[in-house]
Chains A and B, each alone.
Chain A
Amino acid sequence: MSSRAAARRRTDRIATVFSIAMTGIVLLMLASILWTLISHGIRGLSWQVIVRPMGPPGSDAGLANAIVGSLIQTGVALLLATPIGLGCGIYLAEYGAGNRFASAVRFVSDVLLSAPSILIGLFVYLVLVAPTGRFSGFAGSVALAILAVPIIVRTTEDMLRLVPVSMREAGAALGATRWRVTLSLSLRAARPGVLTGILLAVARMSGETAPLLFTSLGNANWSFDLSRPMASMPLAIYQYAGAAYEDWVQLAWTGAMLVTLGVLAINIVVRFGFGRTKA
C-alpha cells in the first residue's frame, strides 16, 4: 500500500518536473530570440538607420525608405481592411444568428485567418500584378488587408457579442433604429475590444513578409508611389539577412529588432492598456 502511494507520488513528481522543464524551455526560446535580436541589433542602431535609405554595401545605408514603405502599405491596408472587417463583424454579431450565409462567412473568415500567407501573396499577384504587369505597393497593401480583415472580423464579432442585449433593447425602446442602436450603442460599448482587434491586425501586418514577396516586390530606393514597387521592412530584412555583406546583415538585425520590438510593444499595450481581453 505504502509502496503504491510512493509510486504515485513519484509519478506526480516526474510530471511536475517535466512540466516545469517544458515551461522553462519555452521561456528560454523566447529569451534566446529576444537576446539574439537585441544583442545583434543594437550594434547597428544609429540615426543613420532611420534617416538614410537602403543602398549598396559599404555606403552607410539605412532603412528609412523601408520604414516609410512599411508605414504607407500598412496604413493603406488598414484603410481597406477596417471598414470591411468591421462591417462583416457587425453583420455576424447582429444579423448572423441562425443564418446559413452568416455561418458560411464565419467559417470562411476563419479559413482566411489560418490560410498560408504566401498563398495570399500568390493570389494578389495573379489578380493585381499579373494583369497590369507591374508590382506595386498597392498590391502589397491589398495582400496585407486580406490578412487583416479576418482578425478584425473575429474580434469585432466577439466583442459585440459581449454587449448585453438589454442595452440594445433600451436603445430600441427609445425609438432608435436598428442601425443607430448598432453604431451608437453596441459598437461604442465594444470599442476598446474592437480597437484591440485593429491594433493586433496592425501588429500582424507589420511583420508579414510572405504576402509582400510577389506583390510589392521591394525597392532599394525611396518609393512613395503606390502604383510602383515599394520597399518594406520585412522584405528589406529578408533581402539583407541572406546577403554576404556584413553591413547588410547588420542592417537586417537592426531592422528585425525594430520590427519585433514594435510588434511586441503593440501586443503589450493591447494586453495591459485595454484590460484583459482574449484575442
Chain B
Amino acid sequence: MSHVCSVELQINDIAALAAAAKRLGLEFRKGQTTFRWYGEWMDDWADPTRAAAMKGHDPAQFGSCIHALSQVKPTDGNPYEIGVIHSKDGKGYELIYDAWASGHGLEARAGQNLKKLRQEYTAEVSAKHLRKQGYAVQRTVDSKGNLIIQGIKP
C-alpha cells in the first residue's frame, strides 16, 4: 500500500541533514532522483495530518526527489527511502516517505513522522552554528531523551 507522508520540517542545510541522517543509520545520497516506496499511489490514506496527498503534494510526483536518504545495512528486505524534495513555498527542502509498514525499517531509525531525524537535524544545525560562532560544542542526552547542545567559549 502507499501511505506517503510529508514531514513538517523545512530543511535549509543539506549538510546538516546528511550528518543527522548518518547518526540514525541513514545514508545521504546526493543527486538520487528517486526514492524507494510502494511505487503506486493507491489513494487509500486519508490522514489529513500526515498524508502527503492531502497536504498539497501531487501523487504523480511520489517517488521523485532531488536527493534521498537510504537505510544503511537494512534489515528489511524491501527498505523504503526518504525523498528530499523542494518545499512547496520554494524555500529549502522537505522530506517525504512512504509510511506503510513503518516505512519498512525507516521509522525504526528515524521515528514516526521522522521525528528522530527532525531532532537530530535541529541538533546538528545548532551545533554547527555554535561552532561557527567560535564555541566548543558538547552534546549530551538527558533522561527524557532530549538532546542538549552546549556551546562553551574556549
A binds B: no
Q: A residues near B, CB below 8 A? A: none
Q: B residues near A, CB below 8 A? A: none
